Structure 1
Amino acid sequence: MKTPTRIFSSPKVPEVFLVFWVIKLLTTGIGETAADFLGTWNIAAAAVIGIGGFFAAIWWQTRATTYHPVRYWITVLSVALFGTMIADGPHVALGTPYYVDSGIYFLLLCGLLVWWQRSEGTLDIHSITTSRRERFYWGTVLLTFGLGTALGDTTATNLHMGFGWSTLLFGALILVPLVAWRLGASAVICFWASYALTRPLGASIADGLAVSRHGDPAGLGWTTGLVTAIGLVLFGLLVAYVAITHSDVEGAHGSHAAEAEVEAA
């Protein structure tokens, strides 16, 4: 027997434009350094905030019937923190290399995307108009964070590239889906590829700022607490911006473009 699914009047995700990617990138960096900061401060508190915050945010998001930027982005931030923990957990507890964790998360992500496609017929985020599709969406988001975290650590640590070269690598790789999309590739595939790549890019930048100059790999030594605090301030300002301007409402930019064309005519 299938679980009953609710139908929403509009997609429960934001419009994808430049600010979307900037906020997403910030959540990846905050999730990385916040998890490290909490882990060194108090393990029990880290577990409560990371695990408890994740389930509380998911419950808050999925019980709603409409999109709201504050609720949505707090949920993404909670997933970022929890995703870092589930990626680092196997490495710390079991001693598995990060590249092994990357492979596992990649297979899990591919499996979930196949299940989602076969079940719903689309992976388009603009189709998140039912509770079932929303569950697929958040499961996919979580696995992209787990995969991205492990990938960033693989290049920086296992491959000894350091945070600087890792940042350059993922900065270059994230341009590939953009170019492919411009050349006519599937927007859905390019979106999810970009979404996954923001994680190792943001984490590499944040770690490079936070980690001590004497670390292995070395960083700028700003500390995880300071980098997390700066990230949270920027995150709060941008989320407040989209909440006030409603610039991230589905179809907002398409409407503005249409109005501009009419005015030009």
Structure 2
Amino acid sequence: MKTKDSGAGVAAWGNKVPEATLAFWLIKMMSTTVGETAADFLNADLGFGLAGTSAVVGVLFFVALFVQMSARSYHPVRYWTTVLLISVFGTLITDNLTDVLGVPLAWSTSAFLVLLLAVFSVWYAREKTLSIHHVDTPAREGFYWLAILATFALGTAAGDWFSEGLQLGYGASAILFGTAIAAVAFIYYVLDSPPVLCFWIAYVLTRPLGASIGDGMAQARDVGGLGLGTTVTSVIFLAVIVLFVAGSAIRHRR
């Protein structure tokens, strides 16, 4: 869905976020799936361990974020590389809270929701807009990426809570979150609801949807998955993401 509101921008910067087209939502959802499976792949399959995986991904993420925020305009490869890494990093934040510190998923879900609302409150109080059409100053982009990180951590916690903590299973969780996204699309297109609000709700919901799909494909059959494994699942979705982003980069260059 595309946001339709208006707000003040700064001419010195171009908008740093792409339009919320169908391709945007597909890449975003697949990046959440890769975030879920890639974290498991590095942690378990390659034997990095949770601490090692967190360190490696953290360094890569902050490098990508620095490159992204140093630029004054949007570029597909730079932007989606940052999204992909922040998806893995957000997953690892939740995993560390759950596996290392023993924080219940219900608590971490609630905490990340409060954090996200706090980011939105400060962002709006300072900038008077939460629109992705106006991520055109360093301050706005800083708030944007902080909100994105919170949505990924929140979505990971919520997805795991519903599928594992509440024992709904991966398939039922995917249907639940997919239905919720469809409901948001309905109230946006049919009931003409506030576009910025609908965008951010959908953005949050795509994370647990992607996580449920990723886990459902990767996990063993005896726990309700398809048994494809984290390697195959990560490669499939990463390959599709690369094709989408490459196409977007070609169109952007033209």
TM-score by length of 2: 0.92
C-alpha displacement of 1:45 = 4.6
Contact 2:54–2:89 under 8 Å retained in 1? no
Q: Does 1:9 align with 2:13?
A: yes
Q: Which runs of 5+ in 2 are unaligned?
A: 1-9
Q: Does 1:29 align with 2:33?
A: yes
C-alpha displacement of 1:214 = 2.1
Report the counterpart of residue 209 of structure 1 in structure 2.
217
Q: Distance in 2 between matches of 1:243 and 1:156?
A: 36
Q: Distance in 2 between matches of 1:236 and 1:46?
A: 22
3-state SS of the aligned residue for 1:105? helix
Q: Distance in 2 between matches of 1:79 and 1:7?
A: 27
Q: Does 1:244 align with 2:250?
A: yes
C-alpha displacement of 1:13 = 0.6
3-state SS of the aligned residue for 1:174? helix
Report the counterpart of residue 219 of structure 1 in structure 2.
225
Same amino acid, percent of matched pairs? 43
Q: Distance in 2 between matches of 1:20 and 1:47?
A: 27
Q: Considering only CA atoms, is the larger Rg found in Structure 1 or Structure 2?
A: 1
Q: Distance in 1 between matches of 2:101 and 2:69?
A: 33
3-state SS of the aligned residue for 1:246? helix
Report the counterpart of residue 257 of structure 1 in structure 2.
none
Alignment of 1:140-179 (within 5 A): 140-179=147-186
Q: Does 1:58 align with 2:65?
A: yes
Q: Distance in 2 between matches of 1:7 and 1:72?
A: 20
Q: Which runs of 5+ in 1 are unaligned?
A: 1-5, 250-265
Root-mean-square deviation (CA, aligned residues, Å) is 1.5
Q: Distance in 1 between matches of 2:15 and 2:176?
A: 33
Q: Distance in 1 between matches of 2:59 and 2:11?
A: 27
- Count of equivalent residues: 241
Report the counterpart of residue 253 of structure 1 in structure 2.
none
C-alpha displacement of 1:231 = 1.0
C-alpha displacement of 1:158 = 0.9
Q: Following TM superposition, where does structure 1 have runs of at least 4 consecutive aligned residues deviating by more than 6 angstroms?
A: none
Q: Distance in 2 between matches of 1:8 and 1:73?
A: 22
Q: Distance in 2 between matches of 1:233 and 1:56?
A: 22
For residue 119 of structure 1, what is the amino acid of its counterpart?
R
C-alpha displacement of 1:54 = 1.0
Q: Distance in 1 between matches of 2:243 and 2:145?
A: 24
3-state SS of the aligned residue for 2:173? helix
TM-score by length of 1: 0.88
**Pair 1:164–1:68, CA change in 2 (3 A):** same
Report the counterpart of residue 124 of structure 2 in structure 1.
117
Contact 1:61–1:71 under 8 Å retained in 2? yes
Q: Does 1:194 align with 2:202?
A: yes
